[in-house]
Amino acid sequence: MPLLFSPISIKTMTLKNRVVFPPIATNYGLRNNRVRHYLAERSLGGTGLVIIQGTPIELLASEKWIAALKPVVDSVHASGAAIGIQLWAGNELPNKDKVAPSARNEYREVSIAQLETVAKLFADAARDARDAGFDTINIHGAHGYFLHQFFSPLTNQRKDRFGGSLAKRIVFPIQCVQAIRTAVGADFPIMYRFSAVEYAPGGITLEDSLIFARELAGAGVDILDVSAGGQLDSVNITSPTAREPLGTHAHLAGALKQVVTIPVMAVGRFNTLEICEEALKEGKADLIAVGRQLLADPYWPAKLQEGRENEVIRCLSCNKLCAGNFRKNKAIACVANKELGREYLRK
């Protein structure tokens, strides 16, 4: 049996295989039949873990709001997969204050009191997600968002204990992880997505991330979700095009896996069984994030497992209607799969 289809247990979560549908922003909404059927289709197709897109922590911290996600949770479970949700914090606080680690443009420097509020929102959101039936949570610390901004020397020039040196730039992300761990208990799996490199002058380096990875594991993270890219205009880094090699960022996951003992997830153009097996067999990753390929063909895992690879609808890595539509604030679609986002219409 290919390693890709071997089970793995991480604390209270057991996955039937190593295929993970990562959090992808869709503009479909969050709590409706369209989302429920879209995610259940990926579960039916054989994915081991399905993760809902980045969701504001202030929403998830509301028990009433998150209760309406239960039909989505139940649908994915009934279809055969575990389910997680990504916890996301932006630069606008619930009171509409626009803040950042360091002052820039219209954002003022976030205060220490406000950071305490954000950390508590992360903790409350994680606890409520656990109580709503999610199997794991994924903390979004990548791609230029709020937690990433603390880690990056490009966006964090604070003069207090939360900024300046690498040791200080990781203080707040670690504080959030620790708050979440306290809230959810010792056995609930925590994932952390972060950009191992920014590919920008003066930005995050792999050497920085080797240190950060060890600190995250020590603070209570159970799975490192290793991406790349910094500010939000770097779509061709976070969603590599066909010009990039398959398994684009696997080498980053492999480097971090050498310094931690917890599972590591690789991302970036995992479109074939061969490239997934290579990353797993070479010890670069324990889990494989398959995003756009599962947009193109939600039954990709089942087809591979059943020896029907010739029937796979291939992702073109074109970014035209997935990342492209999202950047235009439109519902994502797919050049290769006209049914994407329309799954609910067939039910």
User: Active-site residues: which are they?
Assistant: 145
* Span between the terminal Cα atoms of the chain, in Å: 33
Structure tokens belonging to residue 314: 């291939």
3-state secondary structure of 71: helix
Structure tokens belonging to residue 251: 């080498």
Chain CA centroid to CA 252, Å: 16
Structure tokens belonging to residue 17: 């295989």
197 near 154, Cβ under 8 Å?
A: no
Strands (E), the chain: 8-10, 13-15, 19-21, 49-56, 82-88, 99-100, 108-109, 136-141, 190-195, 223-227, 264-266, 287-289
Alpha carbon distance 45, 80 (integer Å)? 9
Q: Report the candidate in 186, 262, 188, 138 with the shortest Cα–Cα distance to residue 12.
A: 188
Alpha carbon distance 244, 323 (integer Å)? 16
Alpha carbon distance 55, 295 (integer Å)? 19
170 near 210, Cβ under 8 Å?
A: no
Q: Report the candidate in 331, 326, 327, 329 with the shortest Cα–Cα distance to residue 343.
A: 331
Query: How many Cα atoms are found within 13 Å in the side-chain-facing hemisphere of 41?
Result: 23
